[in-house]
Amino acid sequence: MIKMKLLVTGWLWYIGSHTVCELLNSWNQVFVVDNLSNCSIDVKDKIFQITWKQIDFQQVDLLNKIDLEKVFVWNQFDAVIHFAWLKSVWESMQKPFLYYENNLTWTLNLLDLMWKYWVKNMIFSSSATVYTDQNTFPVKEDWFLWAINPYWYSKLIVEQMLQWLAVTWAIRSIALRYFNPIWAHSSGLIGEKPNWIPNNLLPYIMDVAAWKREKISVFGWDYETVDWSWVRDYIHVVDLAKGHLDALKFLIDNSQSSFEAINLGTWNWTSVLQMIDYTSQIIWKKLNYEIVWRRAGDLPAVYCDPSKAKDLLWWSAELSVKQAIQDSYNFTLKNLI
Ligand code: UD1
């Protein structure tokens, strides 16, 4: 019944935990390594409550190549799904070396051991941020790539490393470029719960919904949308997680494929004011907001053309933004403290 044995790095960081659920539900065997620097081991039990299946887990920092090698010595993996990443734009500007050291060295150690132990397939958790500075939308995969901070740049560097490893047939890979994930499982057991002031829009809206903060700051009011507020391509994390399964299947079934970068988004955009309005409707509460100046480094519009994912992986998003907001709110209510 077991289909594949997979190594997942950084599972507890939101998308990883949802992807692990989907992998287990399709009878794959999952081994997770995480340094637990930014998350709690409780998620392991929650994943068990959702799937009734166990994972192998080891607390390993990917900087520690000796410990990481032990994992490869004792397990023969079919593929690696690499999520482990530091991901704050602001922090990456303050501590660029930390970002390069972690994000790049983590990945290099992993790739080197994959090469040594003959693990040929990788799914890389990339991001729409590799498309910085685009003015035309929706974004397609072959568009110009650029990055304006160390966090985004580290994603771009790894994508390019993977491309060259594929050219030499060392490691075959798919970089999944996520648009704006909304993190919450319909069970309400796992989701996004920042320990600090939320950076991203929906977690902030949820804090206001849960009376933790008074009002939402709407960044920017100068883009030609229905209401002048900025737009993003929000995608439910469960759809995103399923995209990893489809990508894995594609990689394993198509041995001639070497490297692909694939957008995971919905082709739809939603404005900031629409997000606030949808949430107000769902929770039956009017949410306060104020318009403020744009955030440094922010883009007015980001949304994608995901037709490559449909053509190649037979994947497309199924859950709506309203469903994602509803699931996020359920998660917020279940995790108030
Ligand atoms: C942000 C990060 C990006 C990361 C992505 C997903 C920045 C500059 N970019 O992108 O690196 O990969 O999240 O995690 O941090 N907004 C408000 N008020 C808020 C928060 C956000 O109006 O309090 C607006 C933003 O201007 C944007 C939209 O809401 O138009 C979505 O913002 P956010 O959720 O932070 O995602 P991104 O800016 O797309």
- pLDDT digit string, tens, across residues 263-281: 999 999 999 999 999 999 9
Binding site membership of 258 for ligand 1 (Cβ less than 6 Å): no
In this predicted structure, the answer to whether residue 118 has a pLDDT above a threshold of 60 is yes
Q: Measured from the CB, is residue 218 less than 6 Å from ligand 1?
A: yes
Peptide bond into 198 cis (omega under 30): no
From ligand 1's centre to the CA of 230, what distance in Å?
A: 10
Decide whether any atom of ligand 1 lies within 6 Å of the 235 Cβ.
no
**What CA–CA distance (Å, rounded) separates 70 from 223?**
52
Asked whether the predicted pLDDT for residue 113 surpasses 90, the reply is: yes
Can you tell me which atom of ligand 1 is nearest the CA of 297?
8
Is the per-residue pLDDT at 101 higher than 60?
yes
pTM score, two decimals? 0.95
Quick one: what percent of the chain has pLDDT higher than 90?
A: 74
| 3-class secondary structure, 26 | coil
The Cα–Cα gap between 183 and 327 comes to 9
For a ligand 1 pocket test, name from 103, 132, 180, 228 the mutation site with the most ligand atoms within 8 angstroms of its C-beta.
Answer: 180
The pLDDT-based confidence of 134 (bands split at 50, 70, 90) is low
| Catalytic one of 14, 151, 153, 204 | 151
pLDDT category, 198, cuts 50, 70, 90?
confident
Which of 295, 302, 304, 325 is the best mutation target for the ligand 1 pocket, counting ligand atoms within 8 Å of the beta carbon and taking the most? 295
Residue with tokens 């209510």: 333
Reported confidence tier of residue 12, pLDDT bands at 50, 70, 90: confident
Q: What is the 3-state secondary structure (H, E, C) of 2-66?
A: CCCEEEEECCCCCHHHHHHHHHHHCCCEEEEEECCCCCCCHHHHHHHHHHCCCCEEEECCCCCHH
